[in-house]
């Protein structure tokens, strides 16, 4: 009877460890399992954040599992659900849709998993511990001020945006607020939620507004696609492309006289800060509700001061 009791006790103890949030003991030291998901890991910016976080947690002997949302919130939700099942301790979240991700945030809360929003926020910040991001609003303001400087008599602006991404919404608001009261106006815009829309929407806007002065882009990769369309149409010398981005390929394009300017983000800074804050949370320390990171302003006029081979 005693032997059966001991076997049952051992089984229950092992099950308890398996359900204890993915922690394991090795020489008395706790190890953690982190989860990470991004809206689009084919985007070099997001993948650089992922690489930065993975290297940092593995250096501490911990583990990261990650999932690509591929611009599909249903897919991302399924990935988060799987990570919850695997017993993650903390989730680094870059949502596809700031509203559509909420059911999974509630599931994380119920499972005792802390969520750190990175790069793009959610519509209910109370379901996350903190939000770490480049200062997206500042990026929009920087682009708007440059437009006013370049076109004191006013510019006609077209833009591509993504209303599902809180980060892009903030960038556009910064642009709108900074040009308010000036002679520059946004004459047209299109909402991009899938990569295959970009070329068609860019061509549509150019055809509808051949007299536009500025084409504003929501990130680096899209800025390069816009510049390609303008070049093919023979108007790249006349229409300036501005973005919030700053990836190596975009900076190289700026140096070559393509894209005019970008408010440069730092995925390495964001990823490093996310890891730093995550371990503070695990240690029970108090953290701020938000950590905005400053951007760097890069144009064809100052590109020589920057390294085009890496992110800032």
Q: What is the pLDDT of residues 100-119, one digit of tens each?
A: 999 999 999 999 999 999 99
Q: Any idea which residue has 């920087």 for tokens? A: 142
Please tell me whether residues 237 and 170 are part of one structural domain.
Answer: yes
Locate 81 and state its tokens.
């659900």
Torsion angle of the four alpha carbons 253, 189, 235, 225, in this order, in degrees rounded to the nearest 10: 30
Q: Give the chain's domain count.
A: 2
Domain span at residue 161?
136-265+298-305
Indicate the pTM of the whole model: 0.85
Task: Tell whether 149 and 261 lie within a shared domain.
Answer: yes
Strand partners, 241: 215
Residues 154 and 78 in one domain: no
Does residue 118 sit within a domain? yes
If asked whether residues 261 and 141 sit together in one domain, one would say yes
| Same domain assignment for residues 209 and 116 | no
Helix and strand totals (H; E) in the chain: 10, 14
* Tokens standing for residue 102: 């909420």
Residues 168 and 259 both lie in one domain: yes
Report yes or no on 22 lying in a domain. no
Retrieve residue 189's tokens: 């815009």
**72 within some domain:** yes
Query: Does 311 reside within a domain?
Result: no
pLDDT, tens digit, 9 for 90 and up, residues 162-186: 999 999 999 999 999 999 999 999 9
Would you mind telling me the total number of residues written for the chain in this entry? Answer: 312
Residue where the block lists tokens 């960038």: 171
Residues 6+ apart with CB under 8 A from 10: none
Tokens of residue 225, six digits: 């696609």
Continuous segment of H or E residues that includes residue 137: helix 136-150
Domain annotation covers residue 16: no
Kindly state whether residues 55 and 89 are assigned to the same domain. Answer: yes
- In CATH, what number is assigned to the domain containing residue 161? 3.40.50.2300
In this structure, is residue 2 part of a structural domain?
no
- Beta-carbon contacts of residue 127 (< 8 Å; ≥ 6 apart): 102, 105, 106, 108, 109, 115
Q: What is the mean pLDDT of residues 273-282?
A: 98
Whether 126 and 228 map to the same domain: the answer is no
- Cα 31 to Cα 6, 25, 60, 62, distances in angstroms: 27, 7, 8, 5
Element (H or E) spanning 62, and its range? none
Percent of residues, the chain, with pLDDT higher than 70 = 91
Please say if the pLDDT value at position 28 is more than 80: no
Neighbour count for residue 5 (Cβ, 10 Å): 9
Task: For residue 10, name the pLDDT band (cuts at 50, 70, 90).
Answer: very low
Write down the mean pLDDT value for the chain.
92
Nearest C-alpha neighbor of 260 from the set 307, 226, 294:
226
Q: In this model, does residue 307 exceed pLDDT 90? A: yes
Instruction: Supply the pLDDT for residue 312.
Output: 84
Tell me what percent of the chain is helix, strand and coil, each rounded to the nearest 5: 45, 20, 35
Q: Does residue 74 share a domain with residue 162?
A: no
The predicted model gives 220-240 an average pLDDT of 97
Asked if the structure places residue 310 within a domain, the reply is no
Do 128 and 53 reside in the same domain of the chain? yes
Contact 191, 217 (CB under 8 A): no
Q: What is the pLDDT of residue 29?
A: 76
Residues 128 and 230 in one domain: no
- On whether the CB atoms of residues 56 and 48 are closer than 8 A, the answer is no
Q: Is residue 312 in a domain?
A: no
- Position 30 scores a pLDDT of 86
Do residues 98 and 160 both lie within one domain? no
DSSP reduced 3-state for 91: strand
């Amino acid at each position: 009877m005693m032997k059966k009791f001991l076997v049952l006790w051992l089984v229950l103890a092992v099950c308890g460890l398996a359900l204890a949030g993915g922690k394991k003991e090795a020489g008395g030291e706790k190890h953690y399992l982190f989860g990470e998901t991004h809206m689009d890991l084919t985007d070099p910016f997001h993948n650089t954040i992922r690489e930065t976080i993975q290297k940092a947690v593995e250096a501490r002997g911990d583990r990261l599992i990650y999932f690509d949302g591929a611009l599909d919130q249903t897919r991302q939700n399924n990935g988060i659900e799987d990570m919850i099942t695997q017993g993650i301790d903390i989730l680094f979240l870059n949502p596809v849709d700031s509203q559509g991700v909420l059911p999974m945030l509630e599931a994380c809360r119920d499972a005792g998993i802390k969520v750190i929003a990175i790069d793009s926020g959610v519509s209910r910040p109370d379901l996350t511990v903190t939000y770490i991001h480049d200062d997206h609003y500042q990026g929009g303001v920087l682009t708007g001020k440059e437009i006013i400087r370049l076109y004191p008599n006013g510019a006609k602006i077209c833009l591509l945006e993504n209303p599902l991404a809180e980060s892009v919404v903030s960038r556009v608001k910064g642009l709108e607020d900074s040009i308010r009261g000036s002679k520059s106006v946004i004459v047209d815009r299109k909402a991009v939620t899938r990569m295959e829309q970009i070329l068609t929407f860019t061509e549509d806007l150019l055809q509808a507004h051949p007299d536009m002065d500025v084409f504003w882009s929501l990130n680096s990769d899209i800025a390069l696609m816009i510049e390609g369309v303008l070049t093919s149409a023979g108007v790249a010398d006349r229409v300036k492309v501005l973005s919030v981005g700053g990836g190596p390929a975009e900076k190289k394009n700026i140096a070559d006289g393509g894209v005019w300017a970008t408010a440069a983000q730092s995925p390495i800074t964001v990823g490093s800060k996310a890891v730093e804050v995550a371990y503070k949370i695990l240690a029970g320390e108090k953290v701020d509700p938000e950590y905005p990171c400053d951007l760097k302003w890069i144009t064809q006029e100052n590109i020589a001061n920057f390294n085009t081979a890496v992110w800032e």
